[in-house]
Amino acid sequence: MGVKQVLRAIDAFPRAEEHLLQKTKFGAFVHSTQSLEHQLRKLIQKNEKINWILEIFQPLLVSVVGLLIMATLFLHELSYYLNIYTVHQMAVDLRRGENLPIHINMTFPSLPCDVLSVDAIDMSGKHEVDLDTNIWKLRLNSDGRITGTEYLSDLVEKEHEAHKHDGHKEHHEDSDKIHLQGIDEESQNMIKKVKQALAAGEGCRVYGVLDVQRVAGNFHMSVHGLNIFVARMIFEKSTHVNVSHIIHDLSFGPKYPGIHNPLDGTSRILRGASGTFKYYIKVVPTEYRYISKEVLPTNQFSVTEYFSPIHDFERTWPAVYFLYDLSPITVTIREERRSFLHFITRLCAVLGGTFALTGMLDGWMYKLLEAVTKKNSRTIVR
């Protein structure tokens, strides 16, 4: 077996044997006619197959799309029905004789707990003390970590005249009289301890609840609890008292869904300055009525802020004041849910409209496909 025969044996597309071939004059024409007829039959069969596929899958496609749209709209309407919304109403506040709870959570990064006091007073001139009042002070190191806890049960009591909002004259006394009083050993130890705490960068966190009468008043954090001479021994002068503070939480009652307390997260840091912060608060009595008929009495509030810097020649001491007043209007917030009849009506409208639109879309697609297939059939016949 020669090389030529070996190559022909492994040919993937071998040619016909010579004895199987027969040459004729009209063979090419007959062959071409038969080929065209065969191709035409194939095209017609292919066109019929396409028409059959379109007749089956076109309605199926429209139906699936319509069902998906209706399912999406149904879930949306169900969520809209199950969602609870609130209705606000206003009326004159008729409540009297109740207490006003004040929730406090503040940090003073530059004042040790030993010098920080919490004072509260109302328009009657009396402090609300020992009336379920619980205030805690947490000692903080320079990194803000808790190092100790102190329970503050004795709020500093002073007369109303000594706590006027404008004067801040609590510490102003005759200096000669102060020197005659002298400082006992306990005060000297406290002065030494506070100076060490200031040098170490200690701070204080105050939190708890004040229960006061439902009348206008104020509460404030300051160093007013110190004897004036002791305060001068510690800070030398009032401009060295840094009342920088961070309000983590300040509210006038329990929280309800959606409430916004405007002072939460407020940070006021003083650098190289000193002064008094005043927050003027308007408390709005509020009732939140849950859908379960449970009633939650609480309060909202709005606030405006004012800062008064203190200079060296002034004899007032820095503080953080919260001056509150009550609104005569109470707000009732009521949870409600849409009626089931309303849900059924909207559901029927949405699903019915989607079904009608799907039917119209099916008819338009059928006419379009029918026109396209007829055009192709005419082209093939020609």
Span 134-173, pLDDT tens digits: 788 898 988 888 887 665 544 444 333 344 444 444 444 4
This prediction has a pTM of: 0.67
Over range 338-359, report the average pLDDT: 84
Pull the structure tokens for residue 25. 């004059």
Domain residue spans in the chain? 96-336
User: Which is higher by pLDDT, 154 or 299?
Assistant: 299
Tokens of 289: 């009525």
How far from chain centre, in Å, is Cα 305? Answer: 24
Per-residue confidence (pLDDT) for residue 19, from 0 to 100: 55
Query: What pLDDT, on a 0 to 100 scale, did the predictor assign at position 69?
Result: 84
- Residues 296 and 227: their CA atoms lie apart, in Å, by 43
Q: Write 44-47 long-range contacts (CB < 8 A, 24+).
A: 44/380, 47/373, 47/376, 47/377, 47/380
Query: What's the confidence (pLDDT) of residue 14?
Result: 52
Lowest mean pLDDT: which of 172-176, 312-316, 367-371? 172-176
Q: Which residue has the tokens 């007073």?
A: 121
Distance from C-alpha of 6 to C-alpha of 348, rounded to nearest angstrom: 80
Place of tokens 């192709």: 376
Distance (Å, whole) CA 43 – CA 39: 6
**What is the DSSP annotation of 147-163?**
EEEEEE--PPP--GGGG
73 within 8 A of 358, measured Cβ to Cβ: no
pLDDT per residue over 68-125, tens digit each? Answer: 888 888 898 888 888 888 899 999 988 777 788 999 999 999 999 888 888 888 887 7
pLDDT tens figures, 317-336: 899 999 999 999 999 999 99
| pLDDT for position 296 | 94
Between the alpha carbon of residue 111 and those of residues 87, 107, 231, 234, 312, the distances in Å are 45, 9, 12, 11, 19
- Compute the distance between CA of residue 347 and CA of residue 338 in angstroms, rounded to an integer: 13
Determine how β-strand 319-326 pairs with β-strand 275-289.
parallel
The reported pLDDT for the residue numbered 331 is 95
Q: Which of 125-134, 159-168, 260-269, 304-313 has the lowest mean pLDDT?
A: 159-168
- pLDDT grade for 212, boundaries at 50, 70 and 90: confident
pLDDT in tens, 111-124: 998 888 888 888 87
Nearest to 108 by CA among 234, 244, 221: 244
The pLDDT of residue 238: 85
Over range 43-65, report the average pLDDT.
61
Task: Identify the pLDDT of residue 124.
Answer: 74
Q: What is the predicted pLDDT for the residue at 372? A: 67
Stretch 303-321: mean pLDDT, rounded? Answer: 89
Q: Which helix (H) or strand (E) holds 267?
A: strand 266-268
Rounded (5°) CA angle 369-375-378: 140
Token digits for 35? 């080929």
Distances (CA, A) of 357 to 63, 163, 231, 259: 11, 74, 82, 43
Element (H, E) at 222: strand 217-222
Give the residue from 46, 204, 54, 30 showing the smallest Cα distance to 114.
Answer: 204
DSSP string, 281-305: EEEEEEEEE-TTS-EEEEEEEEEEE
d(CA 90, CA 286): 9
- Give the bridge partners for 308, in sequence order: 276
pLDDT in tens, 183-201: 677 778 888 888 888 888 8
Chain mean pLDDT for the chain: 76
User: With bands split at pLDDT 50, 70 and 90, how would you rate the model's confidence at 174?
Assistant: very low
Q: 59 CB contacts (<8 Å, ≥6 apart)?
A: 362, 366
60 touches 371 (CB < 8 A): no
Half-sphere exposure of 167 (CA within 13 A, CB side): 9
Q: What is the DSSP code string of 62-111?
A: HHHHHHHHHHHHHHHHHHHHH--EEEEEEEE----S-EEEEEEEEEETTS
Mean pLDDT value of segment 340-348 = 87
